[in-house]
Structures are given as structure tokens and as C-alpha cells.
A and B are shown apart, each in its own frame.
Chain A
Amino acid sequence: MPIFARNILPALNSTVLASDWPAGFWSHLIIFIVILFVFVIFMAMGFIYFERRFISRFQIRIGPNRIGPFGLFQPVADVIKILIKEDIVPLNADKLIHLLAPIMAIAPAIMVFAVIPFQNGAALVNLNIGILYIVAVSSISIVGMVMAGWSSNNKYALVSAMRVIAQVVSYEIPLALAIIGVVLFAGTLSMNGIVQAQNIPYILLQPLGFLIYFLGSMAEINRTPFDLLEAEGEIVAGYNIEYSGFKFALFYLNEYTEAIAVSTIITTLYLGGWRGPSFGLPVIPVLWFLVKVFAVFAVIIWVRATLPRLRIDQVMGFAWKFLLPLAIINLLVTGAQVVFWPVLSHWVIVGVNVVLAAVLILAFSRFFRTAGDKIEA
């Protein structure tokens, strides 16, 4: 038996599926992989549609409403349009790397979903180190983007790739520190275990950690106001400027897959995942999960519709001077609470942490200067 199967099987057996569905290791693996791919593709289409319609509302437009009822088939039309484009490789590009880059980017983004519990225990693998696996895997996508930027033989793409490296490497640190707060409270690294431990959604127990994670992950997936790598006013389209056809479609899918991944991780870590009143029906937890994922994504779109973009030095300053100290303080406070107040009611800790988060953020923003002198509003 291969090593991974030997390690995973016990974990699978320990899942708390109501009936042992789908029975058996291989059928579980195959069925869940199919489910995950369908989930990712359909969610990506749903997100594209949702984003276009929702952002239109912010911008007093209607948005796509021509193809299908309420424009629901617009993403399908988009996909068809992208796929029938000619696949162009620049003359002086590094052709092999140019081909591998989109695959390199999309694969880790989809791999993240392997440990996301859609329902109690309903995950491809219920890894006992789930969140560690996510932190490890999710940052590999950047390699694909850097490969794309480097191999395209284009200066816009190169500048974009350099920005990606700097930005993502910086934001990994506060992001990981914020996650540790959740892990301390839950006492487990398993994603399903974290959901099961959330009698109170951790957004209340870890308000500061949630904000740090949310902002950090917005920078990770390059969403406004951290979308420097595709700042169209500066470097046109960023790392994927020389891509077209199927390869571009993969990058486009990657962008939304990462957005879905981040939304699902935030849902799982901070919003209680699949938990919610289920009324005894088996499908309700999945719906709760999806509703929360879309709610998180709606906030991300809201931010995108409202805020301008930061400059590169301001982005870096924000990570190192603002998020990192806050993340460390959050970690220390959480650790102290877990060690010294294990008997205390959770609701007391909620009160303390919410007040602490507000005070810390206000105090820090008073002293925090990205660049230059004081800014008076």
C-alpha cells in the first residue's frame, strides 16, 4: 500500500460521515476529486457572474443580463470566447516555462480544496494537519505567476512578477501568525476539527486575527487594494499579459479559484464552516457553507468596488509595520488566554478580544505611517 494511502486511510475511517458514503478508499477518492473539480469550476463561474453583477450594482450599472435568464450564462459565453482565441507564444519567450506556468499556478490552487470540509467530515481527506497543508500549498501558485512573468520576455510581466514575489512573501508571515491564534483556540490543525470546535464562530473570539487574515489573504490573492500585479494603469495586465487562449483561461480560473479558496478558508476558520441550524436535513450544512463563502466573497467585491490601489512601498509597509506587530500581539494574547483562562466563559473572552482589537487597531493606525509625513484628513 502506498505511503500516502496508509496515512490517509485511518484519517478517512475516523470521519464522522453519517453513513459511510462513499464507501471504500478509491471510490471516495475518485468521487470526491470529481466533486471538487465540478465544485471549483462551477463556483468559479458563479463567482465571475456574482462579481460582475454585484460590482455593477455598486457602480450604478446593470451588468451582464443578456445571455440566459438574468445573464446567468454570461460566464459560459466568456469561457467559450476565451477558449476559441488563438494561442500566441511570444517569439523570444522561454516556451517550455511559458507552457508550464499556468499549470503550475492552477494546480496548487485546486489542491487547497482537498482538505476543506463541505459538511461534517465531507472532505477529500480529513488531514490532521489540514491548515498547515493549506498554508504550504497555497503559496506555490506564486511560482507559476513568477514563471509566467519571467518567461514571457515582457517588461510589464517582469515587473508584475517581481511585485508578486515581494508582496506574497511579506504577507505570508502575518497570515500564518493569524492562523495560529485559531489553532490555539481549537487545539487542532485539522480543518474539520476546527469547525467542530467552533461553538462560537472564531470571528468573535479572534476579531483581530480575522482582520489580519482577511487583509493578508486579500493581498495573497491580489485583490484590490493590493492588486498591484495587475495594476492596469501602470503595468497594463501584469504577469499574464502575453497569454491568450487556454493558457489565459487557466490564469483567469486560477484567480477565481484562489478567491474561492480564500473565501472557503475564512469560512472554515472564522465563520464556523458548515455549522448552522440544520433542521435535521443532511444537505443544509453544505448550503450554510456556500452561503458563508458567498458572503465572504461579497465583502471582497465590496472592497474592490470602493478602494483605490496602494503603492508598492505602502503595501510592503502595511505588511511589515502594521499587520506583523498586530499579528504577534494577537498571538501572545491568544496564547495567554488559552493558558490562563481555560475555565473562563468564552463570551468573556469574546468581549475582551473585541475591545482589545478595536483599541489596538486604533492605536496602531495612529502611529502607522506608510511613507512621508503625517497625513491629515
Chain B
Amino acid sequence: MSLKTETFLVNAGPQHPSTHGVFRMRFILDGEVIQDVEPVFGYLHRGIEKLSEGLTYSQDMVFTDRLDYLASMTNNEAYAVAVEKLAGIQVPERAEYLRVIMAELMRISSHLMGVGFLTNDIGAFLTPLLYMYREREKILDLFDMVCGQRLTYNYMRIGGVSQDIPDEFIPALKKFIDTLPKFIEEYEQLLKTNEILLIRTKNVGILTKEAAINYSTAGPVLRASGVKWDIRKAEPYSVYSRFNFEIPTGTKGDVYDRYRIKIEEMLQSIEIIKQAMAQLPQGDIMAKVPRVLRPPKGEAYGRIEGPKGELGFYLVSDGATNPYRLHIRPPSLLNLSPLRELAIGVKIADAMAIFGSIDICMGEVDR
């Protein structure tokens, strides 16, 4: 006797607890096993690229805060780097160092959220996430001290940063940086050898080296697959060439490696911040930039290593005050592209773990 079975379609999203925003996955399920998955995005599309064409270069900066709202600082920086490349602006050294400090703090914060939400997706009821919120809160306090904002900073400007750090910032930063390794050790104790976490993440969602490159993934997802590619080293922008740091890479490219990479990168970010604090020069924080910027005709592509991968801004200028065209290379969107291949043939629970390990932010995917 043979039983007649049929597949059925389950819709995860756009309103779903583990889709980190308004992502939608249409699963074709055979029992618990995923036969096919169709990712659907665009629910958060705000037309940032088109809107930018109607406003001046400096006004467009505020849109970048709304891209990856867990890493606004690096979005600011990437846009500033692109415009500076287009207009040929030299940023003062102190501003570069401040940018590095802020970007690395942002990386730590974003990775904390990435690991926290991954554990949440595999069912750890909020506990690791809330522990990581504790550290993120301290970073947000530091940002609050610098620019008065906690989520959308708009701190970096074309040609520098908006304001110098207050006197109490460096001691507070030092205190935070000194205590952070202890807290990371705490997460390691909670998660690293947790048997359930291991069996849920090891050998799940393996992205091979070739596939990772072919899908044009970047950031922790690419490095977890064993590719040593970090724009801070490969094409140093800002003052990154002056710091000593390692690029951690994974070996297998599974969910566990993607989680490990984030922890390792946080430790490296701490090293960078320590060096930047020691080298921080005095001086201007803003280059001489005209109030209304008119870059010469031409195009430029500025890219940085954001927390989630290569974040690039492509700008075309026709010599006017507004950009003729602005295109964003969002790492979240491109890291999502292997999702279908990874999810086919695994169980729903694993698909959620894979999705969580890719660590996306919908503001950036939909733009």
C-alpha cells in the first residue's frame, strides 16, 4: 500500500517572528522538509536611490542612516567615501581616526545583534540576545555622547565628521573597550560549547568557497566560507593601512562558522580601536568643503567593509548640486542570494538558522 502525499505551501512572512523585518519566504514543504523556497522582498522599499537624485549631496546623507539601521555609522562612512572620491576631497587625519573608531564600534554592535538574533532564531528564548543588548546599549551611549543620537547618527559628513568628540568620550571608550573582552568571554561560555547550539549550527547550511564567490557574497558570510577578503586589507580606505589586525576566516562555511567569524571580528575590532585611540592625532575634523557641493562631471564607486559585507555607493555626477544617479550595493541583499540553494532539502528549523546566520537588515535589502 502506498500513501498519497502532497507538498504544501507555507508562507513565512512578511509578518513573521523570525524574518527580521518584512522579508517573505514561500516554502514548498514536504512534511518538515523544504522542497523549494521563493524569497520575496521589497516590502520596505522606500525608493532611497531615486529620492537621492532630487536632493543635494549633503542632504542625501540622512537617507543612508535608514539603510542598515543597525549600522548607520558605516553607511554614513561609505557614502561619504564615495562623494569624497567623486569630488576629490581630502579628509583631515583626526576625522579619519574618529571614523575608524566609530565604524569599528558599529561593527561590534552590529555583530552583537547578528549573533543575538541568530540564537533567537534557533530558539534560545531571548537570553543571549538580551545579554548582547547590554553591550550594544553601552555603544549606543557612546554614540549618544558623540552626536546626540542613538539610532540614526548622521555623524559623518562629506569631508569629515560633524563634531569633535567631547572630553569624557575617550575615558568612557577606554573603559568600554577594556571590559568588552570579559563580556565576550561570557557569551563564549554561554554559547560556544553549548551542545544544542552545536548540533543546530554545525554542518548546517554549508556554503562552499566557490558558491560564496559565485553568489558575490561579502563580509562574514564570505569569510566564513574560507575566503580571506576584507576591503580594510584588500583595498585599504581611510587609515586602515596603519593598523595591525587579522582577518578571521572559517573553514567550512556552515552556520557555526558564520557565528564564530562574528565573535572573532569583534575581538579584532577591539584591537583596531585600541590602536586608533593610541594614535589619535589633534587637528581639524572637517575639510574645507563648499556649502553647496558641485562635484565635477564623472562617476565614482566608493566602498568600505561594512559589518555585513562590502557596502558600496556608486555615484554619477553631471556637475549639478544633485547626484545624477546613486546606486547602492547592499551587502544584505547580495548575501541573501544563496539562500534558496542553502535552504532546499533542509528542515524548516534549519532554514531559519541559515537565514539568521546570513544576518540581513531589511532596510538595506529593500532600500
Whether, in the assembled complex, A305 has its beta carbon less than 8 Å from a beta carbon of chain B, the answer is yes
Judge if B350 is at the interface, Cβ distance under 8 Å.
yes
Say whether A306 faces chain B, with CB atoms less than 8 Å apart: yes
Per-residue interface assignment for chain B, residues 330 to 367, with 1 indicating a CB less than 8 Å from any chain A CB and 0 otherwise = 00000000000000000111101000000000000000
In the complex the two chains form, is B130's CB within 8 Å of A233's CB?
A: no
Which of the 9-residue segments B36-44, B50-58, B199-207 touches chain A? B199-207
The contact of A59 among B9, B127, B193, by CB within 8 Å, is: B127
Query: Most A CB atoms within 10 A — which of B8, B120, B192, B347?
Result: B347
Task: Indicate with 1 or 0, residue by residue over A299-331, a CB within 8 angstroms of chain B CB atoms.
Answer: 000001111111111100000000000000000
Q: Mark B1-38, 1 if CB is under 8 A from A, else 0.
A: 00000001110100011100000000001011000000
Indicate which residue in A59, A233, A307 contacts B121 across the interface (CB closer than 8 Å).
A233
B349 lies within 8 A of A311 (CB): yes
Min CB gap B246→A, angstroms: 23
Q: Is the CB of A236 within 8 A of B130?
A: no
Q: Chain A nearest CB: distance from B130 CB in Å?
A: 4
CB-nearest residue of chain B to A233: B18
CB pair B127–A58 under 8 Å, yes or no, is: yes
- Do the beta carbons of A308 and B8 come within 8 Å of each other? no
- Neighbouring A residues of B352 by C-beta, 8 Å: 233-234
The interface on chain A, measured as residues whose beta carbon lies within 8 A of the other chain's beta carbons, has a size of: 36
| Closest chain B residue to A373, Cβ basis | B203
Which chain A residues border B12 with CB–CB below 8 Å?
234
Chain B residues lying within 8 Å of A236, measured Cβ to Cβ, are 16-17
- Contact A305 B127, CB 8 Å, known A60-B134, A312-B32, A373-B203: yes
Chain A nearest CB: distance from B30 CB in Å? 12
- Asked if B123 contacts A375 (CB within 8 A), the reply is no
Q: Are A370 and B199 in contact (CB under 8 A)?
A: yes
Residue of B whose beta carbon sits closest to that of A163: B32
Which among A159, A311, A371 is the interface contact of B10 at CB below 8 angstroms?
A159
A86 at the interface (CB under 8 A from B): no
Total interface residues on B, CB under 8 Å, equals 39
**Once bound together, how far apart are the Cα atoms of A157 and B193, in whole Å?**
33
In the bound complex, CA of A60 to CA of B122 (Å): 20
Does residue A202 face the partner (Cβ distance < 8 Å to B)? no
Given A234-B349, A235-B348, A307-B194, are A225 and B123 also a contact pair (CB < 8 Å)?
yes
Q: Tell yes or no: B109 within 8 A of A by CB.
A: no
Instruction: Find A159's partner among B32, B120, B124, B196 (CB 8 Å cutoff).
Output: B32
CA distance A159 to B32 in the complex (A): 8
Q: Which of B131, B192, B196, B203 contacts A310 (CB 8 A)?
A: B196
Q: Which of A180-237 contact B (CB under 8 A)?
A: 224-225, 227-228, 231-236
Instruction: Indicate if B198 sits at the interface (CB-CB under 8 A).
Output: yes
Residue pair A306, B193 in contact (C-beta under 8 Å): no
Cβ contacts A363-377/B at 8 Å (1 or 0 each): 000000011110101
**In whole Å, how far is A323's beta carbon from the nearest beta carbon of chain B?**
15
Q: How far is the CA of A224 from the CA of B347 in the complex (A)?
A: 19
Q: Give the shortest distance, in Å, between B348 (CB) and chain A (any CB).
A: 5
CB distance from A140 to the nearest CB of B (A): 25
B76 at the interface (CB under 8 A from A): no
Instruction: Chain A residues near B194: list those with CB within 8 A.
Output: 307-308
Inter-chain contact A311/B347, CB cutoff 8 Å: yes
Q: Which residue of A lies closest to B192 (CB)?
A: A377
Whether the pair B196, A307 counts as a contact (CB closer than 8 A) is: yes
Q: Is A61's CB within 8 Å of the partner chain B?
A: yes
For the complex, give the distance between the alpha carbons of A89 and B313 in Å: 50
From A224, A235, A371, give the contact of B125 (CB < 8 A). A224
Instruction: Mark each residue of chain A from 51 to 75: 1 if its CB lies under 8 Å from any CB of chain B, else 0.
Output: 0000100111100000000000000
Q: A305-B125, A312-B32 are in contact. Are A231 and B349 (CB under 8 A)?
A: yes
Tell me whether B122 and A308 are in contact (CB under 8 A).
Answer: yes
Contact A233 B124, CB 8 Å, known A307-B194, A311-B350, A377-B198: no
Please pick, from B31, B121, B127, the residue contacting A306 in the complex, using a CB distance under 8 A: B127
Q: How far is the CA of A61 from the CA of B134 in the complex (A)?
A: 10
CB–CB A309/B17 < 8 A = no
Interface residues of B in 234-260 (CB under 8 A from A): none
Nearest residue, chain A, Cβ from B133: A60
Query: Assuming A159-B10, A236-B16, A373-B203, is B134 touching A224 (CB within 8 A)?
Result: no
**Residues on the A chain within 8 Å of B125, using CB:** 55, 224, 304-305
> If the complex has contacts A60-B130, A311-B349, are A234 and B196 also in contact, measured as CB distance less than 8 A?
no
Q: For the complex, is B231 an interface residue (Cβ under 8 Å from A)?
A: no
A232-B31 Cα distance, complex, nearest whole Å? 18
Within 8 Å CB of A377, what residues of B?
192-193, 195, 198
A346 interface hit (Cβ, 8 Å)? no
Chain B residue nearest to A227 in the complex (CB): B123
Knowing A233-B352, A375-B198, the reply to whether A308 touches B10 (Cβ < 8 A) is: no
Contact status A310-B200, CB under 8 Å? yes
- Asked if B124 and A308 make an inter-chain contact with CB atoms under 8 angstroms apart, the answer reads yes
Q: How far is the CB of A214 from chain B (nearest CB, A)?
A: 16
The 8 closest A-B pairs by CB, nearest first: A309-B123, A233-B18, A308-B124, A59-B130, A311-B349, A308-B123, A232-B17, A308-B122
* 22 A–B contacts, CB within 8 A, in A order: A58-B127, A155-B9, A155-B10, A156-B10, A159-B32, A225-B196, A232-B18, A233-B17, A234-B12, A234-B18, A234-B348, A234-B349, A236-B16, A304-B125, A307-B194, A308-B119, A308-B122, A308-B124, A308-B194, A308-B197, A311-B200, A377-B193
